Chain A
């Protein structure tokens, strides 16, 4: 079990951090977040893909990637989470690429992955969240057509390729048949896209409505195990993003507590503040350990991944929100203003906590995977 980064991972983190500091400072993050119709900076994306080679990190070389691991993707996610960069990285490189790899469909992988790996294609995948109703798919000629809504899809307006999980209508019993994954062209007929109002302004989401939309089946007609693996890998990557955000929140409020004076003292010298900061630091230390472990399991211990992923999301969702909330509150009134960045992290933290399903779903999954359900 490896819980500390390799030298190469540290270098990757430093390079990514320096790049984001230069190209995606908070002023730029806000500009994108507050401009209607703009969801990311295409120039930043091109450089992330080309100059830094971040989009193909975990894609095997045979599909045009660099053949590194999920640990390297986690490094990038941690920096993106800290910088709050508006980017389709999670949608394309994590969600879409992982589901394509997990589906084990050689032809589709050869066809679709190289574009994702070199960044020329932005893909997205709508993860099936417990409780959501998925669209239905029907065989139609050589292919399939999709029918019905997908409640939330990340970065659908940026996407050149949309992957969705749908219920194969021919095999449906009581509306909950096996899920299969389909590739959809965003320009395909019968696809309506509605932008949702998101709490987190840095990460756009859309509702999709299919009405006889042609789609390509990828992988087997029961994609259950592949979806499970893709969701676990997404849980690990998201946990890394949460860790990065959490660390930035703590760093920010610690710096402020060293500067802000009230009652003739630095506020960080008051135990009421200091002790909460100490508790936040303890949470961060645990969080880093869990994220390093989960990232290690993703690459090196596939048998531990199901528990590690559920552990990571069960812990990190609450932990990030707690730290982001306390960081905002300890800033005092300034933390409640639009101009201050604290609310951007607070909103990201809550959105992340719910992105792959409510905390109770992760906890229930963890209980199941620990063998507590008899």
Chain B
């Protein structure tokens, strides 16, 4: 057994013990305690530098841990944004003081982070954001609104981008800040989405003071910082990618169709074959890309292919499952609750993390190398653009 295999074996043994006795849906306190145990055992920040609380190990160990963690439902979702996006951004661009102050508590689950990029007027086109940060004494004063923010209600800190120079073109007048989510000027409102639940929030900033030493990257250089963060969005450190089940999977839907005697119908079988083809094609592509990464072939922008296909599969699966299983799915007594929920969940996959249209643009531009669309707003001062609520007052 190689050292890496031994590492993975020990991780698996540890996970088995550590997850035994966890309740089905652990609360925030239990999640924090679990994260602290993960840290103490040396499985938090496996590749992060030791001086800030990481383990300083290689991606091989990280991968071995991920492989082992796949089979467990770890209660770490609430830390996902911090560990997957905010932490890596601070490690790349943060000051020495920022790294010493924030990384260790993040890894121990003591402080929760959220990401504050999207706005009502800046969705696909995040660089057109309108939240303002103006110099105020030694620091900055922030006003504006953010949306689609996960874990904002639990978060202690947020990584925010705001407009600091409206006279510069839109990409060049943005700055990234670390914001204290407990500041009295921060208002978090749960956003009720089409599932009827609240997975996201909208956040209002009214005269929120931020000290100058909380700027990440450089002043007016926040777009580059944001790109760094978004790159990390795809490089999952595995914590969010623990065991999940697709409610509208081929196995699940065909089993239930058979139970109801529906597979005697050739038309039903043919729809199930459609679902199988898409699911299998997706799974095999995912597996092939993982093998390529292991062989040293970087996926690059091809992650967008996976994202787009998963969105399609999710929508298709819910759609075809309902079509096959019939009216009970849309008027159920609890038996079909998971499928009914899958139908309401499905559009989210095609919108969050970039819409299908944005994914197709990325595939076209960066995978196929097609000529880009002319960008009419690229070199125009932000003040003159018709964006968000500015469109009425623009020139």
Using a CB–CB cutoff of 8 Å, the interface residues on chain A facing chain B are 1-4, 254, 257-258, 265-266, 268-271, 274-275, 277-279, 281-282, 285-290, 292-293, 311, 314-315, 360, 363-364, 366-367, 370, 372-374
| Chain A residue with Cβ nearest B268 | A372
* Contact digits for B352-386, partner A, Cβ 8 Å, 1 yes 0 no: 00000101110111011111111000000000000
Contact A274 B364 (CB under 8 A): yes
Q: Which of B8-16, B142-150, B235-243, B301-309 contacts A (4 or more CB under 8 A)?
A: B301-309
Q: In the complex, A364 Cα to B371 Cα: how many Å?
A: 42
B308 contact set on A, CB distance < 8 A: 278, 282
| Chain A residue with Cβ nearest B264 | A374
A285 contact set on B, CB distance < 8 A: 285, 302, 305, 309
Interface of B is mostly: helix
Contact A372 B254 (CB under 8 A): yes
A275 contact set on B, CB distance < 8 A: 357, 360-361, 364
Using a CB–CB cutoff of 8 Å, the interface residues on chain B facing chain A are 254, 258, 263-264, 266, 269-270, 272-273, 276-277, 280-282, 284-285, 287-288, 291-292, 295, 302, 305, 308-309, 357, 359-361, 363-365, 367-374
Q: Out of A4, A286, A367, which one reaches B292, CB within 8 Å? A: A4
Given A366-B273, A374-B264, A258-B363 contact (CB < 8 Å): no
Given A275-B357, A282-B363, A268-B370 contact (CB < 8 Å): yes
Output the residue of A278, A292, A360, A367 with the most chain B CB within 10 A: A278
Given A4-B288, A370-B273, 9 other A-B residues pairs in contact with their CB atoms under 8 A: A3-B287, A254-B370, A258-B369, A269-B372, A277-B368, A281-B305, A288-B288, A289-B284, A366-B276
Given A254-B368, A290-B280, A366-B276, A269-B288 contact (CB < 8 Å): no
Q: In the complex, A282 Cα to B292 Cα: how many Å?
A: 17
Shortest CB-to-CB span from B4 to chain A, Å, is 20
Contact A311 B360 (CB under 8 A): no
Q: In the complex, A106 Cα to B284 Cα: how many Å?
A: 37
Contact A271 B291 (CB under 8 A): no
Contact A286 B373 (CB under 8 A): no
| Chain B residue with Cβ nearest A363 | B273
Q: In the complex, A73 Cα to B308 Cα: how many Å?
A: 32
B371 contact set on A, CB distance < 8 A: 257-258, 265-266, 268-269
Q: In the complex, A210 Cα to B264 Cα: how many Å?
A: 40
Output the residue of A254, A270, A289, A366 with the most chain B CB within 10 A: A289
Contact A311 B364 (CB under 8 A): no
Contact A315 B281 (CB under 8 A): yes
Contact B305 A314 (CB under 8 A): no
| Chain B residue with Cβ nearest A311 | B280
Contact B370 A271 (CB under 8 A): no
Given A314-B277, A367-B272, A278-B364 contact (CB < 8 Å): yes
A269 contact set on B, CB distance < 8 A: 370-374
Q: In the complex, A290 Cα to B126 Cα: how many Å?
A: 36
Q: Which 6 A-B pairs have the closest CB atoms?
A: A274-B364, A286-B281, A278-B363, A289-B284, A3-B288, A268-B370
Contact B258 A374 (CB under 8 A): yes
Q: Out of A277, A293, A367, which one reaches B270, CB within 8 Å? A: A367
Contact B284 A290 (CB under 8 A): yes
13 chain-A/chain-B pairs, Cβ below 8 angstroms? A254-B368, A269-B372, A274-B365, A275-B360, A275-B361, A277-B368, A281-B368, A286-B309, A287-B281, A289-B281, A289-B288, A360-B270, A366-B276
Q: In the complex, A274 Cα to B356 Cα: how many Å?
A: 13
Q: In the complex, A282 Cα to B368 Cα: how many Å?
A: 11
Shortest CB-to-CB span from B300 to chain A, Å, is 13
